Amino acid sequence: MRYGHIRSDRCGIVLAGGDGRRLQPFIRRLVGYDLPKQYMRFVGTRSMLEHTWDRAGRLVAAERLFTVIARDHLEHGEVRRQISSRAAGTVIVQPANRETGPGILLPLMHLHKRYPHATVAIFPSDHFILEEGLFAAHVREAFEFVERAPEKIAFLAAVPTGPEPEYGYILPDYEDARPTLPARRIKAFIEKPESRMAARLLDLGALWNTMVMVFRPDSLLDLVRLSNPALHRAFQRIFRALGTTRETGAVERAYRNLPSVNFSRDLLEVMDVYDRGQLSVVPMKGVFWSDWGSEERIRSVLRKYGHHDCMHGVRLVMRSRGIIVRDPGPRRVAGL
């Protein structure tokens, strides 16, 4: 696979700190034990996390690609096996999962300490993306946009295929007479609207928020400071302690007192109040994207692209080199 030139000042953060509790009953039926969904192999011989590393690796060098997990993930041998392949010092372990706000900010503190002038991309690890080359091209566009305008924060958004109340939405400012290509200003963030509102948002030209975003750390941290000063102070204390003998204690103390903060719901919907034109959206045209947060969504995507519906009457066994699918009927599908 050809990745092309990778800019040395570009960094990435892979979000893998979630517990995926909603999918645990489904996962137990598939493999017989609990495992956070990002470590599962639903498609092919790679886990969702490994797919994400490969996508991000087209754009960011391995030593600059950070991954955040939760400490209790390390209880799983499969997790330890997967993260053992990563570059030294790039797996950041949270004492506990405190949702996506702290999940972004903790690795960002480490990254910002080591690479203070970097441009950063965020990659969630529980997404299905079909056209990976085109996806990488859109992220590359966002990198170039932010490098030209360092005050900007660029969110990549998927073109909706229908009203989806479980997704977050971004409403671009279509009244902007001078949109800065390839991005437009963001008019509003709407997190998980009810069904009628989701349909109305589609009529207004809203896009699905993928939570893939590109920014300079100072720009994002400035908006966090304005929208949630207490959260910003907590992570500034961690930042000052990194690389010293106080580091472990500072992180432990902070996480004991941290509330759960959802980045989309608790920060983005507040950030647009303080936005001075920094928040921009890059539409991911031509890319099929799905957030695999539910069993039905996984089934639906597999059916859409012609895979055998391996979720009914089928025993799946995870092995170290992939998924084996055994079907009691006449059709057999192996190594999806």
pLDDT at position 198 = 97
> Does residue 196 sit within a domain?
yes
Q: Quickly state the pLDDT bin for 175 (edges 50, 70, 90).
A: confident
Judged against a pLDDT cut of 50, whether residue 14 lies above it is answered with yes
> Does residue 331 sit within a domain?
no
Judged against a pLDDT cut of 90, whether residue 332 lies above it is answered with no
| Three-class SS state of 55 | helix
> Does residue 122 sit within a domain?
yes
Helices (H), the chain: 24-31, 48-57, 77-83, 100-114, 132-148, 195-203, 217-227, 229-241, 247-257, 269-274, 295-304
The arithmetic mean of pLDDT across residues 139-164, rounded, is: 96
Of the listed ranges 109-113, 187-191, 219-223, 313-317, the one predicted with least confidence: 313-317
> Does residue 328 sit within a domain?
no
CA 66 to each of CA 77, 218, 307, 319: distance values in angstroms, whole numbers, following the listed order: 20, 18, 32, 26
> Does residue 120 sit within a domain?
yes
The arithmetic mean of pLDDT across residues 98-127, rounded, is: 98
**Residue 98 belongs to domain with CATH number:** 3.90.550.10
Q: Quickly state the pLDDT bin for 273 (edges 50, 70, 90).
A: confident
> Does residue 313 sit within a domain?
no
> Are the beta carbons of 101 and 267 closer than 8 angstroms?
yes
Q: Specify the pTM.
A: 0.90
> Does residue 327 sit within a domain?
no
Judged against a pLDDT cut of 60, whether residue 313 lies above it is answered with no
pLDDT at position 307 = 65
| Degrees to nearest 5, angle at CA 298 with 295 and 303 | 125
> Which residues make Cβ contacts (< 8 Å) with residue 13, sequence separation at least 6?
65, 66, 67, 68, 104, 107, 108, 111, 120, 121, 122, 123
> Does residue 314 sit within a domain?
no
The arithmetic mean of pLDDT across residues 174-187, rounded, is: 78
230-262 per-position pLDDT tens digit: 999 999 999 999 999 999 999 999 999 999 999
Q: How many domains does the chain have?
A: 1
Judged against a pLDDT cut of 80, whether residue 311 lies above it is answered with no
pLDDT at position 61 = 97
| Three-class SS state of 94 | strand
Supply the range of the domain harboring residue 19. 10-300
Looking at per-residue pLDDT, the higher value among 304 and 160 belongs to 160
